Structures are given as structure tokens and as C-alpha cells.
Amino acid sequence: MKIVAFSDSHGNRDLLREAAEMALRGAPIDICVHCGDGARDMDAIEPILRAANPNVRLYVVRGNCDIGAFFLPVLEIFDVNGVRMIATHGHALEVKTHYGALLNAAESREAKVAFFGHTHRPLLEAIHGVYLINPGALRQRLPGNIAYAQVMVDAQGNIRADLMPWLA
């Protein structure tokens, strides 16, 4: 299963589309996550995700800048081949100052992966066996900047997580 996570697109729909097209190369996307701030930008890529895989699952959470998007959840929980994951923007968990609350949110739900955003800084770190993954902000397409995060989960529930840079 291939999970692709974006965050903090802040209205940069063209950039989100380019990142999605890059992510669609190779294996189809089974699950696509947006960690908030520009959550509704997902409208711009949902058709191409569904065209590539009609069964794609989307998890979109509300960020502090998603004004009025009260129909979106603050936290999503989902399972992939027996591996539980959460997605949240993170502003309510104070991720700019510490990861303790985020880690607690994951561990209290027995999640092994926590996707988040808000800091605009890409992060991939395993703490106490929990992957904390922030794709960073979709702002500039520069070689080396991170476009999205990718997590592959095999049938046995083994995880491989990567931050994916823009290709030159």
C-alpha cells in the first residue's frame, strides 16, 4: 500500500497538482493525506487521484488557516495492513514547541505513524517506535525541497517511510 501525504499547500493548487503528478509516477496511490492549511486544495487533485485509482482513500484534516472548513475533522485515524496511522495538523498539539502531545495522541490510539503539518518544516523521525512525519509546506519547487511524504506498507505491516524531494 502506498500512502502519500501533503501539507500546508495554502492555496498553491498548481504546486499541489505537480506534486501529486510526481507522486502518481510508479505505483498507484492507495491513500492520500492532506495535513491541513490548504485542505480544500485537495479538490484540485481528487479527480486525478481517482482517475489513477478509483478506490483511493482520502484523509483531509483542518488546519488553523482552514477558516470555515468546519466540516473537516481535526484528526483522522485509519489502518493500513494492520498498521494504525493518525493525521492531524498539529496546531492544537503545540507541535511548534514539542512533539510530546503529538506522540501521546499517536500512542494513546496505538498508532505507529503520525502525519502532521503546521511547522512548515519537513520531518521524518521515529520516537518510541512511532514515525512522526511532516511533509513540510508546499511552497517552492526547488530541487531538494520536499514535495511530499511517502509511506509504503507491505502485506506484513512493514513500514518504509520517506520524504520525497522535488526532482530537478
Per CB under 5 A, residues contacting Mn ion are 8, 37
Task: Let me know if 65 is exposed, middle or buried by CB neighbors in 10 A (0-12, 13-18, 19+).
Answer: middle
CB 167 within 8 A of CB 23: no
Rounded to whole angstroms, how far apart are CA atoms 82 and 39? 26
Residues in the chain: 168
Q: Which is nearer to Mn ion, 10 or 112 (CB)?
A: 10
CB 65 within 8 A of CB 10: yes
Least separation in angstroms between CB 10 and Mn ion: 6
CA 66 to each of CA 14, 15, 23, 59, 134: distance values in angstroms, whole numbers, following the listed order = 18, 18, 24, 15, 18
Q: Which is nearer to Mn ion, 99 or 116 (CB)?
A: 116
Q: Which is nearer to Mn ion, 37 or 76 (CB)?
A: 37
Q: Which is nearer to Mn ion, 80 or 90 (CB)?
A: 90
Least separation in angstroms between CB 78 and Mn ion: 22
Q: Which is nearer to Mn ion, 38 or 56 (CB)?
A: 38
Least separation in angstroms between CB 57 and Mn ion: 23
Least separation in angstroms between CB 34 and Mn ion: 12
Least separation in angstroms between CB 20 and Mn ion: 18
CB 130 within 8 A of CB 60: no
